[in-house]
Structure 1
């Protein structure tokens, strides 16, 4: 449905998000969306500020950034942000009467109320299904939920109840994948058949970095295998270590990312028990601005994600970065990865086991699969998802333009 704009500036937009978004690391879509839209539109951003702020990239002066610091006390700080950001968003819309308000999965209440006050189009962007995915990831971690975690999920469940009612009142809904759209329908009991599906993008220029080492070309060379991302039980690092231990090739496994201290210690111990601690380099958390250089020095990039619902319905943004760096991709054969990888053409897929990964790595190292051809094809795939093209799709929805790319085809389960 379309709302009356009254005296609103039809080319202005307010984005409301619950995370720090001045860096692409914590909230990728709103970060690039606000930066790119500000080149041709009036853009205001209302977001949360954290004390451990990542200074990787500030907004240009063309973005009017409103930040709220509500502390970091579990549950309480989130509730304070909900109230404070709602009042702030309403005040901004009353003053500026934006053409559109863009809320995301945890700022739907704030966005809807603000849009009502400002007479604005209200667009919701769903990059995930918050409560369902948090529950899924907790189950995948095989851990007993703490009272604090249970309380947090209970609060989010109440939020989900409100979301289910507000989704029916939005002007437009944008989902990152068809899987998120379908799962949201089931979780909230709403009809999102008319929702627009817009995938993730990648900064292809930023990831065209030059390597600082001579890349492997022959089977007897040292092959650098790299993983970049968060680290936890569903990420598949255990079987990746097993695969490294199983190969007789000269390989170095570089792991860029961080996770729970106890879990990280367990992974290091596993590497020692497998006798490969001298073949594994733990890079720790790498600033997003340094990731292109890490990938430029990699001969193979792996994504060993487990086959859980949260990953099945998600968009594999990390694979886009691997591909933008023209690094050959080896990934588990799950629906999310099949959104981008055509097995044998622009990457290799395997069955999620250590033997499967070891076999795929051997294909690349032995030359059965052409590493250079895989890298070039992956780069072509990434270029089709450049942020300028993705932002244009969001712009079409926000400002009721008529030109949109067709919805991505469903990926077989």
Structure 2
């Protein structure tokens, strides 16, 4: 065990985020005895196991919240500051100049593409904002001693800067997602008479949720004990109301459940109940670049998948032969894939086991943990 202190800082993520807490912080805690997560949100200090979690509050005024984070980070007097959003990069510049600490910038997603795809502004304005952000982000990333990325495309994007750029894929922890998980008895009883099709993740306008509801109507004509679980945060009460209305209009309101998000460690409970995992994202540019973690979590739990034909999804499904690929804009094709898996359980089981084997051998967090600790070790050696 070494004596250096690590401080992970996030502006917009939950401090118990699956990557920040369950993967990186817990992995770093195996080597570094003092690991702290700083986040915004209701002000409090707590210890989750050996990890200290500090929420500094959040103001509507960006500078005030940034000041709180900055002062809290300064008070930690850490050797490593691990930042999870681009708006924290000015903090990196400030700390490097004054305190000679090591800065790690963790890039979760391809943010310029998210600006283009999800912005409510006119398309040309969104494209201009994305281009400006892209250049500013690359310039500020040079302040970091290391840049961690979650995809090969992001690795290429940041390759032009002088810092270390290392791909730390957001692969699942196989001690949590292992296919042998037994859900609580109450949960098993609740769905004992149903064949479960699961979507877990964000539930928003850009996630193809209406298409999944339409597919359920088709599937229900052949599968009578079907239940579609949509589990995750719903963005906006008006969108929730629209989805509930669509369920009633399609006469599938008894077949579809909107479930609130659960803590990360409880997600395997629901995957373990499922016969099919859905990862049918629309063909937006951002989804052609990001690896959906839900896909790998289904695979880790030996659940066969129905996946949209997008490059990141195709790569894993084809390599492991662990599911069926579909046109992500065609509800009938999605429905046919679900029916095939439910009507051919032996074929579905074989697909699930192949996916699980691929995760156990290659797509697992243990391999990424070694990379993460190597980055920290090299940064420490640089400062000696």
TM range (shorter): 0.7 to 0.9
1:101 aligns with 2:77: no
Give me the whole-angstrom Cα distance separating, in 1, the residues matched to 2:279 and 2:107: 23
- How many angstroms does 1:339 deviate by? 4.0
For the 8 Å contact 2:108–2:150, the answer to whether it is kept is yes
Flag the structure with higher helix content. 2
Alignment of 1:244 with 2:216, yes or no, is: yes
Equivalenced residues, count: 362
Query: How much has 1:157 moved relative to structure 2?
Result: 8.8
Among 226, 229, 236, which residue is 2:198 paired with? Answer: 226
Residues 36, 52 of structure 2: 8 Å contact kept:
yes
Change (3 A) 1:23 1:231: same
Q: Does 1:163 align with 2:156?
A: no
1:382 and 2:363 correspond: no
Distance apart, 1:370 and its partner CA: 0.8
Is 1:13–1:41's contact at 8 Å kept on the other side of the alignment?
yes
What's the CA shift for 1:109?
A: 2.0
Matching residue within 170, 188, 211 for 1:200: 170
Equivalent position of 1:393 in the other structure = 371
Change (3 A) 1:343 1:243: farther
Unmatched 5+ residue regions in structure 1?
Answer: 1-8, 403-413
Conservation of the 8 A alpha-carbon contact between 1:252 and 1:280: yes
How far off its partner does 1:235 sit? 0.9
Residue 36 of structure 2, aligned match among 35, 40, 45:
45
Aligned to 2:100: 119
Shift of 1:397: 1.5
Give 1:35's aligned residue: 26
Instruction: Return the alpha-carbon distance in structure 2 between the equivalents of residues 275 and 284 of structure 1.
Output: 22
2:66 is the counterpart of 1:85: no
SS of structure 2 residue aligned to 1:370:
helix
1:344 CA displacement:
7.4
Shift of the alpha carbon at 1:176? Answer: 0.8
Partners in 2 of 1:29 and 1:380 — Cα distance? 25
Q: CA deviation at 1:183?
A: 5.2
Q: CA deviation at 1:398?
A: 2.2
- C-alpha separation between the residues in 2 aligned to 1:179 and 1:158? 19
Q: Distance in 2 between matches of 1:174 and 1:400?
A: 14
Q: How big is the shift at 1:300?
A: 0.7
> Shift of the alpha carbon at 1:51?
3.0
The Cα RMSD (Å) is: 3.4
Q: By how many angstroms is 1:160 displaced?
A: 6.2
